[in-house]
Amino acid sequence: MIIVMKPEAKEKQLKEVCSVLDSLDLGIHISKGAQVTIIGVIGDKRKLSDVPLELMPGVDKLVPIVESYKLASKTFKPESSVVSIDGIEVGGKEIVMMGGPCAIESREQLIEVGDAVKASGAQFLRGGAYKPRTSPYSFQGLEEEGLKYMREVKERTGLKIVTEVISQKSVEIAEKYVDMFQIGARNMQNFYLLREVGKTKKPVLLKRGLSATIDEWINAAEYIMSEGNYNVVLCERGIRTFETATRNTLDISAIPVVKSKTHLPIIVDPSHASGKWEYVLPLSRAAIAAGADGLIVEVHPNPRCAVSDGPQSLTPEKFSTLCDSVKKMVPLIDRTFNID
């Protein structure tokens, strides 16, 4: 942390700031420039998190030098983490494919999708039982009944299952059925929920918030990890920008940036990022080429009849084409594709 004093700051004000730092057992390094004096603060900057130094007389601004997260930081743990989910490794050499419907609609639908994504090479079935929808008048999910269907598909196919949780109660129920919790974009800073999934030790897929910076996103992972649950996989799913041709803007650069800042794995959701199935294949290829550890894709047996996100869902046939395309790419980037 660096404290920048105002050009007109007085010697007395500088001393007062130093005495506060002193009282917190922080080291001090003063540097007088041509225009301004700056103070380098040495020690654990978390001691300062609740002290508004920028309000002290003579202080112009604070400039953070190191990031505010620790457990998630690559500085803290330089080697990449591999998260194991009931035997499937995310962040290892194998590219992970997750497919399934936005919303679980019926037992038949889920079995059909499960069989199809399994056949294409996916290791995970995704499916929403608790649906956060923009309008209160849209379908809100089958809840526990849907989770039972997921479990049935798991037993039938061996696919691991991942579902979104939206409240303490849904965490309690889903914990009995699924292999991985998903925290949706709209709940990325629902810190209460982050702590709840942190207290379980079940792996968590943490989607990036629509307007979250990469640092805020990693801080959300830190919340989960600070409760002792280190099994966090990040998921880039598009951010909100001024462009309206796509539902969101896939931040493809987030992949190498995340890899440089944290040891956690990262996968990409091209379906929510684009909002249109036509763009899912090119964006999936781009994500894998940029270094993503996997993909999570919406697949529906009959998108035209989907109660949610139909326009961005692939048919099982198109998902199969996508998997084939990824399979061909993996040798180029020294990765592998699932082969049972």
- Among the residue ranges 79-87, 93-101, 106-114, 281-289, the one whose residues contact its own copies (CB under 8 A): 281-289
Nearest to 329 by CA among 290, 296, 303: 290
How many amino acids of this chain bind its own copies (CB under 8 A)? 111
Of 307, 309, 314, 328, nearest to 279 (Cα)?
Answer: 314
**Residue choice 306, 314, 322, 323 for contact with its own copies (CB under 8 A):** 306
Encode burial over 141-166: b for 16+ CB neighbours within 10 A, e otherwise: bbbeebbbbbeebbeebebbbbbbbb
Judged by CB under 8 A, does residue 164 bind its own copies? no
- Of residues 5 through 34, those in contact with its own copies by CB under 8 A are 7, 27, 29, 31-34
Please give the backbone phi and psi of residue 206, each rounded to the nearest 5 degrees, phi first. Answer: -105, 105
Encoded amino acid at 73, one letter: S
With binding defined as CB under 8 A, does residue 285 bind its own copies?
Answer: yes
Strand-strand pairing, 88-90 and 83-85: antiparallel
Output 158 or 310, the one with its CB closest to its own copies: 310
Residues 179 to 198 in contact with its own copies, rule: CB under 8 A: 186-187, 189-193, 195
AA identity, residue 55: L
Query: Segment contacting its own copies (CB under 8 A): 61-69, 91-99, 114-122, 143-151?
Result: 61-69
Note whether 273 binds its own copies by CB under 8 A: yes
Q: Among 12, 23, 25, 65, indicate the residue that binds its own copies (CB under 8 A).
A: 65
Helix (H) or strand (E) holding 205: strand 204-207
Cα separation, 60 vs 74, whole angstroms: 31
Beta carbon nearer to its own copies, 140 or 152: 140
Closer Cβ to its own copies, 84 or 302, answer by number: 302
Reduced to 3 states (helix: H, G, I; strand: E, B; else coil), residue 166 is: coil
- Which segment (81-89, 109-117, 145-153, 215-223) binds its own copies by CB under 8 A? 215-223
- Residue 233 CB, nearest distance to its own copies (Å)? 19
* DSSP character at residue 310: G
158 binds its own copies (CB under 8 A): no
